[in-house]
Structure 1
Amino acid sequence: MTIKRNPATNAPGPVYICHGATGQQCHVLKVIPEPDSLWAGNGVSFHDITGGDGSSIVVNPAAGEYRKFESTGVSFELDCSADGKDGELQFRLRSEYSANAYPIELRLGDYLRKLSTRLAPPEFVSRGDEVKIQVAVESFYIAGKMLGGVTVEWWRGDLLLATLPTDDSGVGTFIFTADTLGDNQIFAKIFNQYDDSVLSLEHNFKSCDG
């Protein structure tokens, strides 16, 4: 997956990268120069990664391999091992004519996830019954790595019913009272910082009197 960063136009903030994004699924960080940058048109290379567990990330092209900084940008592959540690890092670039390195803030963690239903509600319930729904949050890149502490929002239409974290096993649980007759739809939603996407799962049941 390709991440683009143009200091002139992109909103400030870190670039989110993920444990296990390796091989053909490695991240590609594309850096585009500002139109009036003195670096544009000159040689640029990856310099180093500082802070956090930078040793778990392999960068290609490697440090010191200069390429011309075209207006279309330069790209770097970030191969992130599955056993790295969460942390705040800086990916630094160096120009062949400047002693100062240019930093790009990184956040390494599990920022791209998968959402699945662990326990669906019964098809039919009586009004006043307690209903339990469970979802599971898993790393997109590392199969079977369940993620605790991820915020799950529970919605009915435009109404936010609850905001609850997943437990240590990556399971988010919502227990509520069925108080609306007829067809009901409850949505579980999570936010992926990696690409600003929202994952949503719909859970349906019918509620009746008696």
Structure 2
Amino acid sequence: MVLAVAQLSGCASGSSGAGAPVGAPAQAVAPPAGPPSGAPAPKPLARSVPVRLEIPAIGVDSPVIPVGLAADGTVGVPPIERNAPAGWYQNSPTPGQLGPSVILGHVTVGQYGDGVFLHLARLVAGDRVVLVLQDGTSAVFTVDSVQTVSKAHFPTQSVYGNVDRPELRLITCAGPRGADGRGYPDNTIVYAGLASAS
């Protein structure tokens, strides 16, 4: 299934449909780099639901909850509440399986202040992202690239399209808040590839 992220009242959100607009990013960046030349690609992992997310470079250590599709066909997001966790889109592969596993998180959580992905845009190529899975495995990903895109020109295929290795996408909102103090015009997207598992 191919989905495109669109603006909703939540901080990280999505709308379904292959006909969703796809265009140039608000900030030009290279596509995901893939594994280093000549380096052996890690074998895909067995399916196992993520339960914890750790991103040492930006101080993230959060539970992960599953999110699905809302009644209107948009991708669900974690609740707007104090200490809201990250959310794994349960119609995507689990972290470490072949394909892009998608994790969403808020940049802010309304009256409660900062969200789990407040500093997501600070990540750089080479930073580590660890997903602890239900079966006890730790799937370690390395950031390939980070981009900020307009929600009106979300790169649907790059985020949700088929890939030939286990990959990870981290998504949150970005840009100046709207005049009503609610919406954000952009998304920050982190692309990462599986580096190891233990």
Aligning the two structures, in what range does the TM-score lie when normalised by the shorter sequence? under 0.3
The higher radius of gyration belongs to 1
TM-score norm. by structure 2 comes to 0.25
Name the structure where strand makes up a greater proportion of residues: 1
TM-score norm. by structure 1 comes to 0.24
Bigger relative contact order, structure 1 or 2 (CA pairs below 8 A, ≥6 apart): 2
